[in-house]
Amino acid sequence: WSSRDFLWTKKLEDNNKKVFGNHSFRPNQREVINATMSGHDVFVLMPTGGGKSLTYQANIPAAYLSANMEWTEQQEILRELSSDYCKYKLLYVTPEKVAKSDVLLRHLDSTYARESLARIVIDEAHCVSQWGHDFRPDYQGLGILKQKFPNTPVLGLTATATASVKEDVVQALGLVNCIVFRQSFNRPNLCYSVIPKTKKCVEDIDGFIKKNHFDECGIIYCLSRMDCEKVAEKLQECGHKAAFYHGSMDPAQRAFIQKQWSKDEINIICATVAFGMGINKPDVRFVIHHSLPKSIEGYHQECGRAGRDGQHSSCVLYYSYSDYIRVQHMITQGAVEQSPMPSGYKNQLFVNLWNWTILQVEVVKLTGQQFSSSHILEVYRGSLSQFVKKHKHNTLKLHGAGKHLTKSEASRILHHLVVADFLVEDVKKSDIYGSLSSILKVNESKACLLWSGGQKITLRFPSSDNASKLSKSGV
Ligand code: ADP
């Protein structure tokens, strides 16, 4: 597709220079245009910032239709579209509109009948697939387009799709003998870092931005709406032009914030994942995840919004185990904004350790909440040490409750119980020399959630050995 000459080759070269001011095409751009201009259905997997837009749009009269627009404005565009001398060559439309607007479909019908429906482009095509992390039912309805307009080539584009998502999208859209372009997803201009999250996370973020990206533009992804508001407020106090953005705001408010950000009147947006789809700002210098993202695909796409112009940009992720619990809880409760069960979580092997977790908390209780974590682990794993026998803990009914686990697995559970606040460590001076020792206590108000089933602890065990060990032991 790249070496052959087509009728439009000269015009293509000229337009790339004149309209876009580019010296050359980026990988696959020319190939995609040639394939689609030759009438083929095409599926493109290209990283964010790779230059997908150039393969289907140019400096030509365009309009857009969405349910967020004033009704009169929508009417005006529809009227123009159905006139014989319609001035628009390109119409941007939401999938919701395609599904719901009979007027629009009638217009497309007549354009098709005149053989003037040159191309259908579906950007963010991964949203068509239920296997993807961003499934939207209205996207699936777009399959109707190929049924109604079989002779019009369809171009599907995405920056994120596994092989099965791609297959699913091609099927659902009814693409025929589709040509697939895919390329490396390495983004050398992005620098990734993962940092343990402490209580001073926002101060850290403030320092990071002031040091590395002062007065530059960025996005901070937060887990909840309240987090967005809190983080934005703190950053404002630190002197940044920051604002928040989430699904509870009304559409006009959201559009206003997005516009201010696009025009650099605001530098930093603290947002849930509701922010991002279709964001095209080339100079986003940092994407910070204040909390763990909900799936690896989501993370990739959110980070992908940084550095589209090819300039050096930062992606920073703050990790804490308690955020992991929050994400898990939100997913199981279905409270994740704009996202069904993310495939990253669905497909991974999570082993529910609920029983063992509860048992470990029970051991702390049964032994009277006055022993160290290492003693609790000994009792839990069935040790018969002198110390265990001295306190008759070998006679407890839960002695050895966790005997199937290795020492490191058992202590991992205990560590998580402490990080997530189910158990608390009470640190004391243990002797006259002032050396410190700690005893474990149960945080009753939190731990009762474990018994009620209101909160579960789940851990991922990497090896299949462990998985079979767990199933043998009936967990
Ligand atoms: P995508 O849609 O794949 O995320 P865009 O189409 O927004 O990426 O392009 C990202 C940036 O790259 C834009 O700033 C665009 O102007 C620039 N760009 C695209 N194609 C080229 C090219 N051939 N040469 C130079 N810059 C390009």
Average pLDDT rounded to a whole number, residues 181-198: 89
Quick one: which atom of ligand 1 is closest to the CA of 23?
24
Burial class (CB in 10 A: 0-12, 13-18, 19+), 177: exposed
Q: Select the more confidently predicted residue: 301 or 17.
A: 17
Would you say 122 and 152 are in contact if contact means Cβ atoms under 8 Å apart? Answer: no
For residue 120, give the nearest of 138, 84, 144 by alpha carbon. Answer: 144
Rounded to 5 degrees, what angle do the CA atoms 383, 388, 390 make?
150
Q: What one-character-per-residue DSSP string does 288-350 give?
A: EESS--S-HHHHHHHHTTS-TTSS-EEEEEEE-HHHHHHHHHHHHHT--TT--S-HHHHHS--
Q: Choose one of 14, 17, 19, 22 to mutate for the ligand 1 pocket test, by most ligand atoms within 8 angstroms of C-beta.
A: 22
Question: CA 214 → CA 28, 263, 271, distances in Å?
Answer: 35, 17, 19
For residue 255, give the nearest of 69, 34, 15, 63 by alpha carbon. Answer: 69
Pocket of ligand 1 contains residue 22 by CB under 6 Å: yes
293 Cα–ligand 1 center, Å: 26
Pocket of ligand 1 contains residue 281 by CB under 6 Å: no
Average pLDDT rounded to a whole number, residues 89-107: 88
Would you say residue 314 has pLDDT above 90? Answer: yes
pLDDT-wise least confident of 20-29, 97-106, 167-176, 187-196: 97-106
Residue type present at position 95: P
54 Cα–ligand 1 center, Å: 7
Would you say residue 267 has pLDDT above 70? Answer: yes
Quick one: which atom of ligand 1 is closest to the CA of 25?
23
Residue 166: which residues within 8 A CB-CB, separation 6 or more?
43, 45, 180
Question: CA 217 → CA 206, 272, 340, distances in Å?
Answer: 13, 17, 29
Rounded Cα gap, residues 206 and 209, in angstroms: 5
Question: CA 160 → CA 32, 124, 131, 150, 365, distances in Å?
Answer: 17, 8, 12, 26, 48
Residue nearest to atom 24 of ligand 1 (CA): 22
Q: Choose one of 2, 33, 53, 187 to mutate for the ligand 1 pocket test, by most ligand atoms within 8 angstroms of C-beta.
A: 53
Q: What is the pLDDT of residues 209-264, one digit of tens each?
A: 999 999 999 999 998 899 999 999 999 999 999 999 998 898 899 989 999 999 99
Q: What is the pLDDT of residues 384-439, one digit of tens each?
A: 999 999 999 999 988 998 888 888 888 878 887 887 788 888 876 555 555 566 78
Q: Write out the two tokens for 156.
A: 């599907």
Residue nearest to atom 26 of ligand 1 (CA): 22
* Paired residues of 287 in beta bridges: 219, 315
